Amino acid sequence: MPPRLHNKIAVITGSSSGIGRATALAFASEGASLICSDITETPRSEYATDTSPSSTTVAAAHALGAKALFVKCDTTSSTDIQALIQTAVKEYGRIDIMVNNAGISMETSEHGSRPVWEYEEAAFERTVDVNIKGVFLGTKYASKQMVGQEPGERGDRGWIINLSSVYGLRGTSGISGYATSKHAVMGLTKSAALDCAPYRIHVNALCPGYTATAFISSLLTPEAVDMKKEVETRHPFGGLGTPQDIARAAVFLASEDAAWVTGIGLPVDGGFSCRPKPSKQHPMYTQST
């Protein structure tokens, strides 16, 4: 049998590192041709989850035998997003898959987690700009291209996958900006799925749990070993997720295996979201995914 994404054309934002990189390489392994985009092509330092961190995603995809190219893109820019889509169509003739992965967490950067009354307006606005506007623009222009293109042999015109979070399905203290943005991604995903359904365009979201990427770098230092252990116990499967765990779910949502799936937020979290919220507050619960 041919690979699940044979001859599919996939655009992935935030693809230089972490979940975006793992998704791009999983797609490449399944036969897709790639348009990789990010602010920079240089990968961030990751944590034992990437066997070739010094290699760009495009180079790693080429090593797997896939076609791939890099396009620099600021997802908050309508001009950049439109140019990204246009480049993909010029190079490959169509777009089958759009993964809106690029995102930020101000709570795990210099801003830190804090109660809503202390949350800085500038940090909230930046979060909204990247995590909501960026996903909206990617969904808008990818779906516009898909609506106008010929359907595939099974009648589908495309698959859009947005990155939400387990905190797009629930809340916790200290992350009002991040949680707001990821809830918004879920609302956008559901509404866009209804808009796109008559054209057989699938629109779904992934909701990762705590995943071993730069997003939770403060948990992955020797000084945070005790906190990391506590976070790991919050997942019924134990430990942290890997970018590859999320990428495998992305392959499913981008394939004909998900032919009857649209408008969902799929938790990929080792069971985290099915547990009740902890009764005590602890800094670990304010780490974002």
pTM score, whole prediction: 0.89
Predicted confidence at residue 79, as pLDDT, reads 98
> Token pair for residue 56?
């760009």
Q: Where are the domains of the chain?
A: 9-286
Nearest to 214 by CA among 104, 111, 133: 104
DSSP 47-93: SSS-S-TTS-HHHHHHHTT--EEEEE--TT-HHHHHHHHHHHHHHHS
Q: Tell me if residue 8 is catalytic.
A: no
- The helix (run of H) or strand (run of E) holding residue 97 is strand 97-100
CA dihedral 48, 51, 52, 56 (to 10 degrees): -90
pLDDT tens string, the chain, 289 residues long: the values are: 889 999 999 999 999 999 999 999 999 999 999 999 999 998 876 544 454 555 899 999 999 999 999 999 999 999 999 999 999 999 999 999 999 999 987 767 777 778 889 888 999 999 999 999 999 999 999 999 999 999 988 899 999 999 999 988 988 877 888 999 999 999 999 999 999 999 999 999 999 988 767 666 555 566 656 666 777 677 778 778 799 999 999 999 999 999 999 999 999 988 888 876 654 443 433 443 3
Query: Amino acid identity, residue 210?
Result: Y
> What phi, psi does 131 have (nearest 5°)?
-80, -25
Catalytic one among 164, 165, 255, 273? Answer: 165
Predicted confidence at residue 62, as pLDDT, reads 97
The 10s digit of each residue's pLDDT in 62-81 is 999 999 999 999 999 999 99
Catalytic one among 164, 182, 228, 273? Answer: 182
Helix (H, G, I), strand (E, B) or coil at 229: helix
Predicted confidence at residue 284, as pLDDT, reads 37
- For residues 36-70, b (16+ Cβ closer than 10 Å) or e, as one string? bbbeebebbebbebbeeeeebbbebbbebebebbb
Q: What CA–CA distance (Å, rounded) separates 100 from 42? A: 19
Catalytic one among 8, 178, 181, 228? Answer: 178
Q: Tell me if residue 55 is catalytic.
A: no
Q: What class, spelled out in words, does domain 9-286 have in CATH?
A: alpha beta
Q: Using CB atoms within 10 A of its CB, is residue 148 exposed (0-12), middle (13-18) or buried (19+)?
A: exposed
The 10s digit of each residue's pLDDT in 31-66 is 999 999 999 998 876 544 454 555 899 999 999 999
Q: Tell me if residue 182 is catalytic.
A: yes
> Token pair for residue 41?
């092509």
Predicted confidence at residue 279, as pLDDT, reads 46
The CA distances from residue 165 to 40, 47, 57, 89, 152, in Å, are 23, 20, 23, 29, 30
Residue 161 DSSP symbol = E
